[in-house]
Amino acid sequence: MHDPVDSLRTLLHAPPRWEPSATEEATRTRVARAKPAPGAAQRAPAGRLVLDRYSLLERLGSGGFGEVWRARDELLHREVALKRIVLGPDGDSERATREALAAARLSHPAIVALYEACAVDHAFYLISELVDGQTLAQLIGAAVLEDLEVLEIGVALAGALSHAHARGVIHRDIKPQNVLVPHRPEGTGGAAKLTDFGGASLVGEDALTRTGDVLGTLAYMAPEQSEGREVGVEADLYALALVLYEALSGVNPVRGPTPAATARRIGTELEPLERRRRDLPRELTRALDTAVAPSPEDRETLDLLRESLEETLERGLGRARRRGDPRRSDSRQVAGMRPPKELTRPPLATPDAPPSPWPTADRPAQREEAHPLDAFAQREGPEPLDGLAPPARPRRGTLPRGLWIGCALALAVWQAASGSPGVALLVLAASLPLFALPRRAGPSWLSAALAPVLGLAGLAAAYPAIAGQAGRWRERAALGALGYWWLTLAEPLIGSSSPAGRLWLGAPAGTPARTVWEGSLQSSATHVIGPMLNLGVLFGAALWAAAAVMLPWVLRGRSAALDLVGVVMWSAAVVTAAPILAAGLSGHAVHPGPRGAVLGAVLGAMIAVAARALRGPV
C-alpha cells in the first residue's frame, strides 16, 4: 500500500506570475514518468476506495479521455468529482497535465474548482468540485432557459474568462457542453461554471505546443483557430458569443448538417442575431454580432460584451421569453465529463446501473460514441503569446480619456497665452462633457464637431441624422446633446449677428462682438457663457439627443415608403421643435427659424436613408 501523503501531491498553489514555475515543470515531469507497466492499465484499484481516500459512488461518464465518477472524500466528508485518465498509449497525458496546470492557476466562482491532481503509477487523477446541475447544452436542447437566465450565465462566463485571461490561460474550447448550470446558484458568478481546461493554452509554457496543430470543437471554433493560426483571447470571446447566440436563438449559425458543411461556414459572415431576435435590445444583439466577426480585430473586447450583458440585465427585458417545457429534468453533472447524451444521443450510463470497477483485461474501458463534430480535431493549437499574459484588446482607435482632456486643456492654455482668455474659457466650457466619457473613448465622439462645421454651411439640421448612426442608444444621445452644445458655443465664436452668418438659431440676444469679450475672462463669462446657461439650450440639446436616439427606430429598412414617410416626419419634427424649445420654454423672445432648416433636413434624411440601406433591415 502506497503512502497517501506521498501520492496526493496537490497543484492548488498557482505561481504568482504567469511564467512557468518549478511546480509546473515538476508536474510535467511527474506525468511523463508515470509510464504504465505491462498490463497496468487493466488493473483495477483495490475495492472501491481510490487513493486511500475517495470512495467511488457513481460513474457519471466515460470516454476516450478517461472516466468521471461521483465520489466521497472520506477525509473531508464531502462529495467530489474524480476523473481518472489512463496514461500511456491509451491515454492523453498532455491533455491531463494541461488541464491540471490551467485549473491550478485559477480561482473564480464561475470556474469549477480543482481540489487535487496527482499521478500515481499508471494513471492521472483530477479531484474537483462536484456541480449539482445540468450542462448548458442540455438546457438549450430542452428550450427551458429564459432570456434573463442566459444573460446571467453570460455575465458569469465573461467574468470567468477575464479572470483566466489575466492569469495567462486561454480556454480554446468553450461550448455549451463545457458550461455547467447549477440548480442552486450560490454567490456572485454562480449562475454558471466553466469546466474542461484540457485544451487550454498556458502563457509561458511551450512543452505542450505543436505549431500548426488545431484543438477545439468545430462548431464553436474561431476562424483563426480552425486555420491553425495564433490564438489569443479573441478566440474565447468568439466562442462565448456564439454560445450565447445559440442560447438566445436556439440555433448555432455555424453548425451545418455535416462536418464539412460546418467547416465551410467558419470564417463567413453569420446571420445577425438582431434578425433572429428582433425583440431583444439592439445594443445586446449588436454586441454579440460584433463578437462573432470573422476577423479578430473586429470583435471589440470581452469587457465590452460583459458591459452590454450587465446593462441589459439592469434595464430588464420586459416579458422574458422562454421556449419549450418550463420544467427541467433533474440530473447531476460534473466537471470534466463529456456532454450527457439523453437529449441528442444515447446516455453514457443509466442512473440505476451499478458502479463498475476500473477496466480489467476482460472488460475494456467503455468509450462513448463520438459526435461527428467532436471528431474533427483533438490536437493542440499554437501558443498565442510568448512570455506575457495576453492583455484584453481595447476597442480599435481608443485613447485614454485623460489624453482627450489634456489636449483640450492645452488648447485653452494656448489661447490664454495668446491673449484670448475669453476664448480659453469657451474652450473649457466645451471640454466639460469630456469628463463624462468612458475611461477609454473612441474617436466617434469627435463627430460632434461636425455640428458647427455643418452650421457654417447652413446645414446644421443634418447633424442629428449623423449622431443617430451610433450603435448604442447612449452613444447616440450623448453625440446629439454634445453636438448641440458645441454648436451653441460656436455661435459667438465663429458666427455673426446677421441672419446669413448664423450657424443655427444665432447667439443669445445682447451677445457682444468677439472683439469685445475674447480678451476678458469676465466679459466672456458674463455676456457669452452666462446667457447660454438656460432652459432653452438644455431643451435644445435634449431635442437633438432624443432625435438621434429615435432615428434607428424610425428607419427600419423594411419598406422604402414607410422609411421615407418616417424620416420626413422625423426631420420636420426636429426642425419645427427647435425654435419652440429654444425660445418658448426658456421664456425668451421667439427666435427666428433655424438657418438652412430645409436643406439641412433634406441632407440629414438622405444620410439616414443611405446608412440604413447599407446596414440592411432590422
The CATH 3.30.200.20 domain(s) of the chain lie at: 4-128
Residue 15 has pLDDT above 70, yes or no: no
Q: pLDDT-derived band of residue 506, with 50, 70 and 90 as boundaries?
A: confident
**CB within 8 Å of 214: residues ≥ 6 apart:** 221, 225, 226, 228, 377, 379, 381
* Cα–Cα distance measured from residue 354 to residue 57, given in angstroms and rounded to the nearest whole number: 9
Residue 540 scores a pLDDT above 80: yes
| Residue scoring higher pLDDT (251 or 367) | 251
Residue 207 in this model has a pLDDT that exceeds 70:
no
On whether the 4-128 domain is CATH 3.40.50.2300, my answer is: no
| pLDDT in the model for residue 321 | 56
- Separation CA 272–CA 557 (nearest Å): 15
3-state secondary structure 235-257: HHHHHHHHHHHHHHHCCCCCCCC
pLDDT at 103 over 70: yes
pLDDT for the residue numbered 216: 67
Cα(195)–Cα(216) distance, rounded to whole angstroms?
14
Phi, psi (deg, nearest 5) at residue 524? -65, -45
At 16, the pLDDT band (50, 70, 90 cuts) reads very low
Check residue 462 and give left, alpha or beta (phi > 0: left; psi -120 to 50: alpha).
alpha
**Is the CATH number 1.10.510.10 carried by domain 133-315?**
yes
- How far apart (Å, rounded) are the C-alpha atoms in residues 332 and 329? 10
CB-count burial class (<10 Å; 0-12, 13-18, 19+) for 37:
exposed
From the CB of residue 446, how many other CB atoms can be counted at a distance below 10 Å?
Answer: 12
Which pLDDT value is given to residue 242? 96
Question: Beta strands 66-73 and 78-86: pairing type?
Answer: antiparallel
Q: Where in the chain is CATH 1.10.510.10?
A: 133-315
What pLDDT was estimated at residue 485? 92
The fraction of the chain above a pLDDT of 70, given in percent, is 70
Query: Cα separation of 474 and 482, whole Å?
Result: 12
Confidence of residue 470 (pLDDT cuts 50, 70, 90): confident
For the ranges 72-76, 520-524, 534-538, 612-616, the one whose mean pLDDT is highest: 72-76
Whether the Cβ atoms of residue 299 and residue 232 lie closer than 8 Å to each other: no
Which three three-digit cell numbers place residue 457?
454651411
176-190, 368-382, 478-492 — most confident range: 478-492
Q: Looking at per-residue confidence, does 120 or 288 come out higher?
A: 288
Looking at per-residue pLDDT, the higher value among 20 and 297 belongs to 297
Of the listed ranges 33-37, 111-115, 511-515, the one predicted with least confidence? 33-37
pLDDT tens readout for residues 45-83: 434 788 889 999 988 877 656 788 999 999 999 999 998
> What tens digit of pLDDT does each residue of 257-274 get?
888 889 999 988 899 998
What confidence tens digit (pLDDT) does each residue in 301-319 have? 999 999 999 999 988 875 5
Residue-averaged pLDDT of the chain: 75
More confident residue, 88 or 140: 140
Sign of CA dihedral 491, 493, 494, 500: positive
Query: What was the pLDDT predicted at 23?
Result: 46
The residue that leads in pLDDT, 369 or 97, is 97
pLDDT category at 392 given cuts 50, 70, 90 is very low
State the pLDDT at residue 212: 44
Place of cell 469657451: 426
Q: Which three cell numbers stand for residue 13?
A: 498553489
- In this predicted structure, the answer to whether residue 100 has a pLDDT above a threshold of 90 is no
